[in-house]
Amino acid sequence: MDTQTLIYIFVGLTFALYIGIAIWSRAGSTSEYYVAGGGVHPIANGMATGADWMSAASFISMAGIISFIGRDGAVYLMGWTGGYVLLAMCLAPYLRKFGKFTVPEFIGERYYSQAARVVAVVCVIFISFTYVAGQMRGVGIVFSRYLEVDINAGVLIGMAIVFFYAVLGGMKGITYTQVAQYCVMIFAYMIPAIYISMLITGNPIPQLGFGGTLSGSDTYLLDKLNGLSQELGFSQYTGGSKSTVDMFFITMALMVGTAGLPHVIVRFFTVPKVSDARKSAGYALLFIAILYTTAPAVASFARVNLLETVSEAEYQELPDWFESWENAGLLAWKDKNADGKIQYQAGKPFEGKPAFDSEARGASEERLVTNQATDNGNELYVDRDIMVLANPEIAQLPGWVVALMAAGGLAAALSTAAGLLLVISTSISHDLLKSNIMPNIDEKKELLAARLAAAAAICVAGYFGINPPGFVAQVVAFAFGLAASSFFPAILMGIFYKKMNKEGAIAGMVSGLVFTFAYIIYFKFVNPAANTADNWFFGISPEGIGTLGMLLNFVVAIAVSKVTAPPPEHIQHLVEDIRVPRGAGAPVADH
């Protein structure tokens, strides 16, 4: 069977599985729709959280990014895992004990204020839409690469699938589909990684092979990589180029942001007990760590492979995969010195993404690029995503592995999109409609509203997927920065600082949010030319500014709470109550 047929079969089978699960687990009540009835096993919840968390970016792009930035890639590796420690110890068990459906609901009740709840709802919707737009685009890209359909058609198919299980099954449907998606995704990631590790280092465990020697020599892989990188003018792979301050702040912003992201927090409302919430955070991180410790290994294997294969190679002698990815537009070569060999060095070969001259071919039969060449010696354009996508071909794996990759990439994008869409629909139906606009609607109508909101959110997300705002990639920093500077401090102080009051919390959230928002907007959109280390506050880039926003939030909140009235007695009792595990029932609606 050819690879294309296998891809159709694999993707078709996984889709049938997801739809089957959705029909089996459809939600009948708001509790099932919002938090899967609170009866999810901690291991299942761990897997679902893993799938929810790991997006198309983790699956496809992360290893590629690390491949190009070497040690600095640790900001993502540590930043996107370390937050689970904070979540497990500082937030999840207490929020589970609180026993409601949404994050804004906690903020609203703990700070006895509808205004606080509305501020929280606005943040949730903004953060989640920012994030989901990128996911729908990811779905479209995977479709167009593997199924040979147009990106827009891919987005529409993805929308239809998510529509099915998010609208029908709510959190319950999403949770069980995510468990299946986690399995598909991790399998698809590990198999090529194990093969390529054996191929390059002879060790079947990528995490160890990464620190081992290259097959058939006694040079360590990382030494070889450092040597090659230096020879070609790149910085050392195991040495960083970001400043220590910036590394520190970016890592902190990503960690704290992770712990404050509503679609992650809400997953811990679905387990039966407080102790399960702790345990399930552990499982979630374990399942995430399998992929996250493999990614840097894959990054280094792919890097060594690329450098050794292409550097100073005759174009016509290159392996077949070079040509197929060149045809896909992810590789491009501009023979600046017309020697027929590829010079791959530091610097951009030309400005922007490659624009190809239709079917015209150059002297060595390469696809001609029309971009204006830069005056450095680099001739090769490499899209970062190729580092993972091309692995099966580089390792010469059979067609079914390529098909598995396609199914895995789709699972990663769809599971994250579904989790985010659910959070959006919940915020609208529960926090805005039920709590503010129409407090008297009954459960049936609320459920219907939640489904309609989910359907509408899918359409909006799909629109962004088809017409992506040019800044999608840039605004991801927003989601983390805003979560770090708004939710995390507000929830943390809500649990650990009994005297924190309404005035302090609102002032803190607003100042953290406004500061972070303004800083990112200024450097990313208003004055991007000034976005260099010299102009940043204390050398902190916009990616890391959420950390400063968080500190500002703490300082303002505490200062304001000192000069205003303490929270009422019953709120202080509420805080004492959530600190003790006993008595956590199934989540219930308020009113």
Partner 1 sequence: MSNKKQAAQAYWKENLKLLLTLLVVWFAVSYGCGILFVDALDAIKIGGFPLGFWFAQQGSIYTFVILIFVYTARMNTLDRKYDVHEE
User: Among 512, 501, 414, 549, which Cα is nearest to 132's?
Assistant: 414
Torsion sign, CA atoms 225, 230, 233, 236: positive
Quick one: which segment of 186-194, 219-227, 317-325, 537-545 binds partner 1 (CB under 8 A)?
219-227
CB of 65 to partner 1, least distance (A): 13
Quick one: which segment of 112-120, 129-137, 205-213, 514-522 binds partner 1 (CB under 8 A)?
205-213
Between 190 and 460, whose beta carbon lies closer to partner 1? 190
Q: Which tokens sit at 401?
A: 């592995």
Query: Rounded distance, CA 519 to CA 10, Å?
Result: 45
CB of 264 to partner 1, least distance (A): 14
Choosing from 20, 28, 211, 469, the residue that interacts with partner 1 (CB under 8 A) is 211
- Determine which helix (DSSP H) or strand (DSSP E) holds 173, and give its type and residue range: helix 168-201
Please report whether residue 557 would count as binding partner 1 according to CB under 8 A.
no
Choosing from 111, 292, 325, 519, the residue that interacts with partner 1 (CB under 8 A) is 292
- Report which DSSP code applies to 71: G
Query: Rounded distance, CA 65 to CA 57, Å?
Result: 10
Q: Is 331 helix (H, G, I), strand (E, B) or coil?
A: strand
Q: Is 431 helix (H, G, I), strand (E, B) or coil?
A: helix
CB of 394 to partner 1, least distance (A): 21
Please report whether residue 90 would count as binding partner 1 according to CB under 8 A.
yes
Between 259 and 394, whose beta carbon lies closer to partner 1? 259
Between 329 and 581, whose beta carbon lies closer to partner 1? 581
- Pairing outcome for strands 331-333 and 356-361: unpaired
Please report whether residue 316 would count as binding partner 1 according to CB under 8 A.
no
CB of 208 to partner 1, least distance (A): 8
Choosing from 1, 372, 470, 582, the residue that interacts with partner 1 (CB under 8 A) is 582
Site string for partner 1, 12-51 (x = CB under 8 A): ----------------------------------------
Between 289 and 456, whose beta carbon lies closer to partner 1? 289
CB of 267 to partner 1, least distance (A): 15
The answer to whether 343 touches 378, Cβ cutoff 8 Å, is yes
CB of 85 to partner 1, least distance (A): 5
Query: 228-287: which residues touch partner 1 (CB under 8 A)?
Result: 238-240, 244, 247-248, 251-252, 273-275, 278-279, 281-282, 285-286
CB of 329 to partner 1, least distance (A): 30
Q: How are the residues of the chain apportioned to helix, strand and coil, as percentages rounded to the nearest 5?
A: 70, 5, 25
Please report whether residue 547 would count as binding partner 1 according to CB under 8 A.
no
What phi and psi values does residue 331 have, to the nearest 5 degrees?
A: -125, 145
User: Among 24, 424, 401, 67, which Cα is nearest to 229's?
Assistant: 67
Choosing from 207, 235, 311, 376, the residue that interacts with partner 1 (CB under 8 A) is 207
Query: Rounded distance, CA 204 to CA 201, Å?
Result: 8
Query: Rounded distance, CA 199 to CA 394, Å?
Result: 10
CB of 68 to partner 1, least distance (A): 14
Query: 458-477: which residues touch partner 1 (CB under 8 A)?
Result: none
Quick one: which segment of 16-24, 89-97, 173-181, 323-331 binds partner 1 (CB under 8 A)?
89-97
CB of 70 to partner 1, least distance (A): 9
- Report which DSSP code applies to 233: T
Q: Match 């989601």 to its residue by tokens.
A: 479
Between 83 and 170, whose beta carbon lies closer to partner 1? 83
Between 120 and 222, whose beta carbon lies closer to partner 1? 222
Q: Is 341 helix (H, G, I), strand (E, B) or coil?
A: strand
What number of other Cβ atoms are within 10 A of residue 352's Cβ?
9
Between 113 and 207, whose beta carbon lies closer to partner 1? 207
The answer to whether 479 touches 57, Cβ cutoff 8 Å, is no
The answer to whether 100 touches 587, Cβ cutoff 8 Å, is yes
Choosing from 448, 518, 530, 580, the residue that interacts with partner 1 (CB under 8 A) is 580
Total count of residues recorded for the chain: 591
Angle in degrees, CA 475, 82, 483, rounded to 5:
35
The answer to whether 269 touches 97, Cβ cutoff 8 Å, is no
Query: 44-83: which residues touch partner 1 (CB under 8 A)?
Result: 66, 71, 73-74, 77-78, 81-82
CB of 311 to partner 1, least distance (A): 21
CB of 31 to partner 1, least distance (A): 19
What number of other Cβ atoms are within 10 A of residue 8's Cβ?
15
Please report whether residue 444 would count as binding partner 1 according to CB under 8 A.
no
Q: Match 């590990």 to its residue by tokens.
A: 190
Torsion sign, CA atoms 472, 473, 475, 480: positive
CB of 186 to partner 1, least distance (A): 15
Query: Rounded distance, CA 568 to CA 578, Å?
Result: 16
Point out which residues bind partner 1 (CB under 8 A): 66, 71, 73-74, 77-78, 81-82, 84-85, 88-90, 93, 207, 210-213, 220-223, 238-240, 244, 247-248, 251-252, 273-275, 278-279, 281-282, 285-286, 289, 292-293, 296, 576, 579-584
